[in-house]
Copies of this chain bind each other. A is one copy, B any other.
């Protein structure tokens, strides 16, 4: 058995937390499991370093800010090894540079190219514990780079792949992925197992537990991720290939995203090139467009509606007004008082009527649907923001996801068996 365990900032936060983290690693190691570790900086440390840099300068030079930030993980890796050594565990810290974790040269958002696994693998074979700094690497010219948001998780998956580990355990302060936000739907349940594709939909919809890039990397190499809590020693959520042996429920969960605003161009000519005239300038301004809906044409005219992050709403409206003459729009409308609610599940591929069921549920609650988009494993609707909680709760119950629903109890029983 060979594991990579990744610990986030809260697991490194002071001697007491470091000891608890070392407890888990030591237990794994004493069971004879080959255990490699990836760590983040202590929580707050990255902010502290950012502040030191920004006390000097508004826009610190990227190469040097990366060199500064990289010290955070180097310190926590060394501290964890000091604690492991105290217990007689032969631990060795590695910076991204020492481990030969090579990236491209994009500071703050470098992408991993390669990871020399030989030296770290040798430690495992010798019964030792290598501890790699997450979040950082080194580019072709030997400059220190950082991987950006979710970088440490991505480092962990990359290490797991390089070491051919059986699974990549990602320890965090939540105990797994839930069928929906428990703050909204008290009946929300922890999901035992979720496919990469479903996880990607969850991640991109604001369930910010695992970053998209980390899941994508795991999916490409079929590396199972076990997302679990560092506070409780219970199984969390396994992110893995689709489990075809189980009778799958229609949907796995309900996600929502309040960070949306919509813009509509009314009555523009339905002709080639119009879409790119609209979205070219928006993309050039660095604004991510999420949902795009174009209705069928009437009298040679059509409407295009799209959504953007709420913080980009004003900028996007400004751009759209600038191009409105060029695309001959009759009218421009906008609304930043919306939200997106989605149901997700690989099961819906084979179960007909999921969409119809979803729309009925919302209609019964008196919720008007403004936009609809679908993928193979997801249906999203845009609705007025004030209905978000109502919509999430109604859908969660209607699709049998609540803990107290019949199917929910069945699943709970299965949970216990797996444990």
Is residue A56 within 8 Å, beta carbon to beta carbon, of the partner chain? yes
Per-residue interface assignment for chain A, residues 83 to 108, with 1 indicating a CB less than 8 Å from any chain B CB and 0 otherwise: 10110000111010110000000000
Shortest Cβ distance from A55 into B: residue: B15
The CA of A78 and the CA of B72, in the complex, are separated in Å by 13
In the complex, the chain B residue whose C-beta lies closest to that of A138 is B98
**C-alpha spacing A142/B122, complex, angstroms:** 15
From known contacts A49-B75, A74-B74, A92-B63, infer whether A56 and B68 are also in contact, taking CB-CB under 8 Å: no
Q: Is the CB of A82 within 8 A of B70?
A: no
Is A65 an interface residue when CB atoms closer than 8 A count as contact? Answer: yes
Q: How far is the CA of A342 from the CA of B144 in the complex (A)?
A: 50
- Residues on B with C-beta less than 8 A from A18 are 56
Q: How far does the alpha carbon of A57 sit from the alpha carbon of B144 in the complex, in Å?
A: 30
Contacts of A61 in B (CB 8 A): 81-82, 85-86
The smallest C-beta distance from A144 to any residue of chain B, in angstroms, reads 8
A406 interfacial contact with B, CB 8 Å: no
- Give the size range of A's interface with the partner: 35 or more
Contact between B86 and A67, CB atoms less than 8 A apart: no
Interface string of A24-54 (1 = CB under 8 A from B): 0000000000000000000000000100110
Say if the beta carbon of A186 comes within 8 Å of chain B.
Answer: no
Given the complex, which residues of B lie within 8 Å of A74, measured CB to CB?
A: 67-68, 70-71, 74
* B-chain residues with CB within 8 Å of residue A49 when the two chains form the complex: 75
Please report the C-alpha to C-alpha distance between residue A85 and residue B64 in the assembled complex, in whole angstroms. Answer: 9
Name A74's closest neighbour in chain B (CB-CB): B71
How near does chain B come to A128, taking the closest CB pair, in angstroms?
Answer: 12
Q: A residues near B, CB below 8 A?
A: 14-15, 18-19, 49, 52-53, 55-57, 60-61, 63-65, 67-68, 70-71, 74-75, 77-79, 81-83, 85-86, 91-93, 95, 97-98, 142, 144
User: Which 5 residue pairs are nearest across A and B when measured between Cβ atoms?
Assistant: A61-B85, A68-B78, A71-B71, A67-B78, A64-B81
